Structure 1
Amino acid sequence: MVRREADFTAFAEANATRLRQIAFLMCRDWHLAQDLTQSTLTKMYLAWGRVARQGGDPFAYTRKVLLNTLLDHRRLRSSGELAVDQLPDRPQQGDPTAERLTLLNALALLPPRDRAIVLLRYWEDQSVEQTAEALGVSVSVVKSQSSRALALLRAHFGPDRELLFS
């Protein structure tokens, strides 16, 4: 029991920051990302014995738990997003900070599953098969939704910055 807790503590300390960053990219709210990370780590603690016995990559399973926690949160009525009349103006200069903010705004336009696919495939550099396994969908779903999501991101960035997603 003590060893299991020590193993989980080491895992949580090593991966909490990365999980929080992934959660932020999925939800675009640091406070919600912190809550999602804590909920995910709580769920992982409760299942740690089973996860450790199964072997494999516990971080991959943790990402799946994080995504499911976010999707559960989105289903709650209190988590509705606010619609805006107009999209924010695109930056005129090649400022990396402005481009990063524009990318984050563009990611926010994607539905949660599409955003998760883009983040796992291109931010976490996962293969199509790994992404499909993490999300519990088929390879063809990952391919079609990532293609559609990238097209939306390209449209948001415009033709002058299309090379960002090539």
Structure 2
Amino acid sequence: MGWDAEFTEHFDRCADSMRFTAYLLCGNHHEAEDVVQAAFLKLYLAGPKMARREGLDAYLRQIVVRTFLAERRRARWRREKLAETLPEVPATAGLSEDKLVVWQALGRVPARQRAVLVLRFWHDLGVEETAVALRCSVGTVKSNTSRGLKALRQRLGPEFGALWQEVSRNA
């Protein structure tokens, strides 16, 4: 099977999952779509040069997270401009109120901590796997996990533990 066919198959299988991961990171459907599109482009360009392709899912997830973090670093230099009209509000039909509350709180956690929380609790990666994905130390993952969870607890209140576990399990 050639790379184009392999890539198409991989895209068909993973696109929705990566879009949702990017949405959890960005909190915005439009930005998430841009991140995923850039990530798939990077994967497509890197594919022919890759000697082994066993870990494409993990590699793609890593590209999505790094693309998101790079975009956040660039965004510091840009300022948001006020517009005449309000942007579209994404449809929330079918989402429970609990999920919306958690996702909104997650969107207010700093980007690096949010990336760690999404990888650790949404994708169920271990500390070491998360460290590899983010190119950081195990200690950095642990401290960002602790700080991120603390930030979520402050935003969600005492019922946080059960709510976060239910949302991450049932999504």
TM-score for both structures, normalised by structure 2: 0.80
Shift of 1:161: 3.9
Partner of residue 139, structure 1: 138
Partner of residue 15, structure 2: 16
Partner of residue 111, structure 2: 112
8 Å Cα contact 2:102-2:164 kept in structure 1: no
Within-5 A mapping of 1:1-150? 3-51=2-50, 53-74=51-72, 75-76=74-75, 77-78=77-78, 97-150=96-149
Query: Hey, what's the Cα distance between the residues in 2 that align with 1:55 and 1:48?
Result: 8
- Equivalent residue of 1:33, what SS? helix
Q: Deviations over 1:26-71 (max 9, x none)?
A: 00111111111111111110001233x1344111111111122112
Shift of 1:4: 1.3
Q: Deviations over 1:96-118 (max 9, x none)?
A: 72211110111011111110100
- Equivalent residue of 1:159, what SS? coil
Structure 1 or 2: more helix by fraction: 1
Distance 1:102 1:60, change over 3 A: same
Query: Hey, what's the Cα distance between the residues in 2 that align with 1:118 and 1:80?
Result: 26
Shift of 1:72: 2.4
Shift of 1:159: 1.7
Distance 1:112 1:24, change over 3 A: same
Distance 1:19 1:162, change over 3 A: closer
Distance 1:139 1:114, change over 3 A: same
- Could you tell me the percent identity over the aligned residues? 36
8 Å Cα contact 1:73-1:79 kept in structure 2: no
Query: Hey, what's the Cα distance between the residues in 2 that align with 1:117 and 1:105?
Result: 16
Q: Using the TM superposition, name which of 55-64 and 130-139 deviates more.
A: 55-64
Shift of 1:16: 0.6
Letter in 1 for 2:47: W
Q: Using the TM superposition, name which of 33-42 and 116-125 deviates more.
A: 33-42
Query: Hey, what's the Cα distance between the residues in 2 that align with 1:81 and 1:146?
Result: 32
Instruction: Count how many residue pairs are aligned between Structure 1 and Structure 2.
Output: 151
In structure 2, stretches of 5+ residues that fail to align are 83-94, 166-171
- Equivalent residue of 2:42, what SS? helix
